[in-house]
Amino acid sequence: MSKYVIIGNGVAAAGCIEGIRSVDKDGEITVFSAEKHPVYSRPLISYYLEGKTTVEKMNYRSGDFYKQNGVRAVYEKAESIDAKRAEVTFGRSKEKYEKLCIAAGSSPFVPPMDGLDSVKDKFTFMTLDDSLALEKKLKKNSRVLIVGAGLIGLKCAEGILERVGSVTVCDLADRVLSSILDSECAAVMQKHLEKHGITFLLSDSVVKFDKNKAVMKSKKTVDFDILVLAVGVRADIQLAKDAGCETDRGIVIDTKMKTSVDGIYAAGDCAQGFDSSTGTNRVLAILPNAYMQGFCAGVNMAGGEKSMTDAIPMNSIGFFGLHCASAGVCPSDGEGEIYEQRSCGGIKRLYIKDDRLAGYIIIGDVTGAGIYTRIIREKTDLCYVDVDKLKKDATLAMFLPENRRKMLGGVV
Amino acid sequence: MKRVYVNEKWCLGCHLCEYNCAFANSGETDMVKALKNKKIFPRVHIEQSGDITYAVSCRHCTDPLCVKSCIAGAISKLDGVVKIDKTKCVGCLTCVLVCPYGAVRPGPDGAANKCELCLENSCGEPACVKGCPNNAIVYEERQG
């Protein structure tokens, strides 16, 4: 029997292992991995195709990570959880646990699409194996159609552009990166991507596939050799649901990462935790959050005390050298004050609401962006901040001198 | 654990720390060759607030957000020093997104760039501190 069992072997699991070990150096840890790889940096799969990293360098931790931490890594899929008996079934075996963390991640969501079965070379873009399989099909003259202009679809587009003939990206939304960018910022990024050779079909969707042809709602047709489906992802909640855990869009957790079932925790892309920017429980499927939730779960599983109350949505993503940083929310009701600054090829938009910086988006020079992220995360009342300086630049000059002196003259 | 601390009262805003930092991390032995007519990417930078100037560099935080947030597992903290493994960094700048001090910045090669206390370059101790004419930057042990 293992004292701790972790289902999943991604970054949340790595965080969980390190969290457990920060409290308990000895307890047995078993990790179940559905993928046949040690923990790797999932967002790097597009950088791999672009030639900016290697499979080896994508390892999230050193080669002796499991050994160093006394972890038994089982490269099999966990099939079910029996919460009453406190055991996990895998293959023909069972593993008992005292504390369980579900860090199962998420899976690509592929909506039913007419004629999809007739498409020979179609891929999702979520795992290292997806990336390796796609790579095998890339040819200098391949025409690629990517369905989905979100983070996954566009990183895929960037990763393969130099290796194929053409890349067309379609999306139902009227703009690129609609989950993180507003229309103004999306227009800047779209222009940049188009300049580099990506073709967009926005506010449009595939009505029907016929082998190598996609018929769009707009009646346009797209001929392609390779299809990438990057419509969206869904949290993997089934195991938790069957075990009796409360689920919604993700596995519902409290600020200690506990699910509704005693002894079971959840972390990462499968979990629905507290988002302090909206004050609601949401799936925040971003890597920093996965690590921090995993770590927090681990500490609590091992009998320590930790809670996470300051998670916010945030993203840093770049395309062909143009960077984008964003955090917090974009007030959709239009009640907040919006401050906009444009620079050569870039844009910065700050959203101020109720004497707080509620969110921001910067495209271009992202230097210092972390200071904006900080005052969103810390919900800093802007009466303690020089707002004119805040709008101008992201520097420590915006803070009261005594606060700044503490930051630079004290142990932090 | 020794860290770099700043006393803005003594800072002249001369930017010497930036030049000394860029030189120490350039791998060159000649300062002119290293810096002249080049865009420099120092790991310490001077900010100004009215008449006040001060140097900002990595705080080597007790609980560093950059380490936890790095999507490539390229940032680690060992013996009190937060370091970037530039061979693993893909330049996504998530560390820039989360650094509460604006101390991690984009570097010359696309990878993120930050102060590593000069412990592994030719200087061997923080070059910004060594060259500061007014003791506005110090390298010492302080209590939390």
CB-based contact B73 A287, cutoff 8 Å: no
**pLDDT score recorded for residue A334:** 66
**Predicted complex: ipTM over 0.90:** yes
CB-based contact A389 B49, cutoff 8 Å: yes
User: Does A50 score more than 70 pLDDT?
Assistant: yes
CB-based contact A366 B65, cutoff 8 Å: no
Q: How far apart are CA A266 and CA A100, in angstroms?
A: 8
Q: Same CATH topology for B1-58+118-139 and B62-114?
A: yes
Task: Give the model confidence (pLDDT) of B3-12 as tens digits.
Answer: 999 999 999 9
β A99-102/A4-7 pair status: parallel
Chain A contact set for B99 (CB, 8 A): 370-371
Q: Which of A44, A327, A389 sits opposite B97 (nearest CB)?
A: A327
Q: Quick one: A99 exposed, middle or buried, by C-beta within 10 A (0-12, 13-18, 19+)?
A: buried
CB-based contact A411 B73, cutoff 8 Å: no
B109's tokens = 């090669």
Give the chain B residue whose CA is nearest to the CA of A317: B92
Chain A contact set for B93 (CB, 8 A): 316, 318, 323, 325, 366
CB-based contact A41 B71, cutoff 8 Å: yes
**pLDDT score recorded for residue A1:** 60
Nearest Cα to Cα of residue B123 among B4, B1, B7, B10? B4
pLDDT exceeding 70 applies to what percent of chain A?
99
Binning pLDDT at 50, 70 and 90, where does residue A253 land?
very high
Residue ranges of domains in chain A, CATH in brackets? 4-107+235-301 (3.50.50.60), 116-231 (3.50.50.60), 321-409 (3.30.390.30)
Q: Which of B3, B48, B92 sits opposite A397 (nearest CB)?
A: B48
Q: How far apart are CA A174 and CA A200, in angstroms?
A: 10
**pLDDT score recorded for residue A335:** 79
Binning pLDDT at 50, 70 and 90, where does residue A345 land?
confident
CB-based contact A408 B54, cutoff 8 Å: yes
Is residue A228 within 8 A of residue A145, CB to CB? The reply is yes
Q: Which of B7, B62, B94 sits opposite A412 (nearest CB)?
A: B62
Residue of A316, A379, A387 to mutate, testing the B interface (most B Cβ within 10 Å of its Cβ): A316
Q: Provide the residue type at A261 as one letter.
A: V
Q: How far apart are CA A222 and CA A54, in angstroms?
A: 32
User: Does A336 score more than 90 pLDDT?
Assistant: no
In chain B, domain spans: 1-58+118-139, 62-114
User: Does A332 score more than 70 pLDDT?
Assistant: no
CB-based contact B100 A370, cutoff 8 Å: yes
User: Does B144 score more than 90 pLDDT?
Assistant: no
The distance of B136 to chain A (nearest Cα, Å) reads 11
The distance of A130 to chain B (nearest Cα, Å) reads 18
CATH code linked to domain B1-58+118-139: 3.30.70
- Contacts of residue B27, defined as CB under 8 A and 6 or more positions apart, other chains included, come to B121, B122
Binning pLDDT at 50, 70 and 90, where does residue A16 land?
very high
**pLDDT score recorded for residue A331:** 62
Chain A contact set for B97 (CB, 8 A): 314-316, 325, 327, 366, 369-370, 373
Q: Among A10-24, A321-335, B67-81, where is mean pLDDT lowest? A: A321-335
Q: What is the dihedral of CA B68, B69, B73, B79, to 10 degrees?
A: -40
Q: Which CATH class is domain B62-114?
A: alpha beta
Task: Give the model confidence (pLDDT) of B12-71 as tens digits.
Answer: 999 999 999 999 999 999 999 999 999 999 999 999 999 999 999 999 999 999 999 999
Q: How far apart are CA B70 and CA A41, in angstroms?
A: 9
Q: Is the dihedral of CA A401, A405, A406, A412 positive or negative?
A: positive
- Give the mean pLDDT of chain A: 96
Nearest Cα to Cα of residue A271 among A127, A106, A126, A150? A106
Task: Give the model confidence (pLDDT) of A110-143 as tens digits.
Answer: 999 999 999 999 999 999 999 999 999 999 999 9
The distance of B77 to chain A (nearest Cα, Å) reads 13
Q: How far apart are CA B96 and CA A366, in angstroms?
A: 7
Beta bridge partners of A29: A4, A71
